[in-house]
């Protein structure tokens, strides 16, 4: 029988488009204002993918940085996974498109769809593959071109989202380090609250359907409850409590959701890491973008306990607990 091992983050890399869209730019496009957006969401600006780029380009750039950070070559990757709420097309998967851009031949590649909770779900999937011994080195990317799915006349959604990508390489962990636990959940009865109705086989060509439709207030209330529940669930599975947490890396949807969740958990605000001001809601990319920021800050130390958490369309939610080894970003 294959020995069960834990997996660890061996490398991390990110990529964001250069074009910045500020709240003041949005004031000229739709009936909104900087003050409303900042106080209701915490967002000041977001990045917008160039017309001549696709989500697989952002993903490939983040992936190259992560593989280099892990000190590996592309030939050593034996599975490519992509989580995206804005995949390039229905199929082939964005993972296959990225695999080709990276010049990796033959290894399996597929996408994971759990909307904004995709990174949390994907870490669990990748960890299971490493633990089972099926794959040794997994490249996992959260990548988004969310702005391609925005209705720029809908002020309830177009102010929220941005584009970007974050990638990690997962491989075998040292004893007691790496990914310690996962908590994943879904409730399909909330499917209607947040969706992109067209683009699949369900609705054909309905005008305006291929954009994000959101009942913001309901999603907000759901997220405020489920984000802390996910953190608590993953900590319980790791045999830990909130007092053990050194850093919390929540999905960046709305500053008020994060503040409420943190307060419910009794987590000190200085332990919470984010990038909402700068990037807005980058869906599956928001956690790796924040994690990379934490890694580069130099604050993260070997042995620190990091908790990620997210809520997304589906509805989906979940969290992961990691004991940081320092393998990624030279932080050990």
Applying CB under 6 A, the residues found at the interface with ligand UT7 are 32, 36-37, 40-41, 116, 155-156, 159, 194, 216-217, 219-220, 223, 253-254, 257, 281, 311-312
> Is position 107 annotated as part of the catalytic site?
no
| Numbers of helices and strands, H then E, in the chain | 9, 13
Residue nearest to ligand UT7 (CB): 216
**From CA 152, how far away is CA 148, in angstroms rounded?**
10
- Least Å distance, CB 331 to ligand UT7, is 28
> Is position 251 annotated as part of the catalytic site?
yes
Structure tokens of 178? 């790496």
> Looking at beta carbons only, is 129 or 317 nearer to ligand UT7?
317
Which residues, in sequence order, are CB contacts of 117 under 8 Å at separation 6+?
184, 251, 310, 311, 312, 314, 316, 317, 318
Per DSSP, the three-state class of 217 is helix
> Is position 116 annotated as part of the catalytic site?
yes
- Least Å distance, CB 215 to ligand UT7, is 8
Pairing of strands 164-172, 305-312: unpaired
**From CA 66, how far away is CA 113, in angstroms rounded?**
21
- Least Å distance, CB 259 to ligand UT7, is 12
> Looking at beta carbons only, is 250 or 329 nearer to ligand UT7?
250
Residues 95, 82 contacting (CB under 8 angstroms):
yes
- Least Å distance, CB 296 to ligand UT7, is 24
> Looking at beta carbons only, is 153 or 217 nearer to ligand UT7?
217
In the chain, how long is the greatest CA-to-CA distance?
Answer: 62
> Looking at beta carbons only, is 99 or 284 nearer to ligand UT7?
284
Query: Where in 103-198 does DSSP place strands (E)?
Result: 109-112, 138-144, 164-172, 178-186, 194-195
> Looking at beta carbons only, is 54 or 281 nearer to ligand UT7?
281
- Least Å distance, CB 142 to ligand UT7, is 12
Strand order from edge to edge, sheet including 316-323 = 178-186, 316-323, 305-312, 247-250
- Catalytic-role residue among 23, 54, 96, 116: 116
> Looking at beta carbons only, is 64 or 255 nearer to ligand UT7?
255
Which residues, in sequence order, are CB contacts of 52 under 8 Å at separation 6+?
none
- Catalytic-role residue among 23, 251, 254, 320: 251
- Least Å distance, CB 207 to ligand UT7, is 22
What amino acid positions are annotated as catalytic residues? 116, 251, 281
């Amino acid at each position: 029988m294959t020995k069960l091992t834990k997996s660890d983050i061996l490398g991390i890399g990110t990529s964001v488009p250069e074009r910045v869209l500020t709240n003041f730019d949005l004031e000229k496009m739709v009936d909104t204002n900087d003050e409303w957006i900042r106080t209701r969401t915490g967002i000041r600006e977001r990045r917008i993918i160039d017309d001549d780029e696709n989500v697989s380009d952002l993903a490939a750039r983040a992936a190259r940085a992560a593989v280099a950070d892990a000190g590996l070559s592309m030939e050593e990757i034996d599975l490519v996974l992509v989580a995206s709420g804005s995949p390039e097309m229905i199929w082939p998967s964005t993972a296959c498109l990225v695999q080709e851009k990276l010049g990796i031949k033959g290894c399996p590649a597929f996408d994971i769809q759990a909307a904004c909770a995709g990174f949390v779900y994907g870490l669990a999937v990748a960890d299971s593959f490493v633990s089972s011994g099926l794959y040794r080195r997994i490249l996992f990317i959260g990548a988004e071109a969310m702005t391609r799915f925005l209705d720029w006349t809908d002020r309830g959604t177009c102010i929220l989202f941005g584009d970007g990508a974050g990638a990690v390489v997962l491989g075998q962990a040292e004893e007691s380090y790496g990914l310690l636990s996962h908590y994943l959940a879904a409730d399909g009865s909330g499917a209607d609250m947040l969706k992109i109705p067209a683009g699949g086989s369900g609705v054909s060509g309905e005008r305006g359907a291929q954009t994000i439709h959101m009942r913001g207030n309901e999603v907000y209330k759901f997220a405020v409850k489920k984000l802390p529940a996910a953190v608590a669930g993953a900590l319980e599975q790791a045999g830990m409590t909130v007092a053990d947490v050194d850093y919390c890396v929540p999905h960046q949807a709305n500053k008020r959701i994060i503040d409420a969740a943190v307060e419910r958990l009794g987590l000190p605000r200085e332990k919470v890491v984010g990038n909402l001001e700068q990037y807005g809601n980058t869906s599956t990319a928001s956690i790796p973008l924040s994690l990379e920021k934490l890694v580069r800050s130099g604050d993260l130390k070997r042995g620190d306990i990091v908790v990620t958490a997210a809520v997304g369309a589906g509805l989906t939610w979940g969290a992961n607990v990691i004991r940081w080894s320092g393998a990624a970003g030279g932080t050990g």
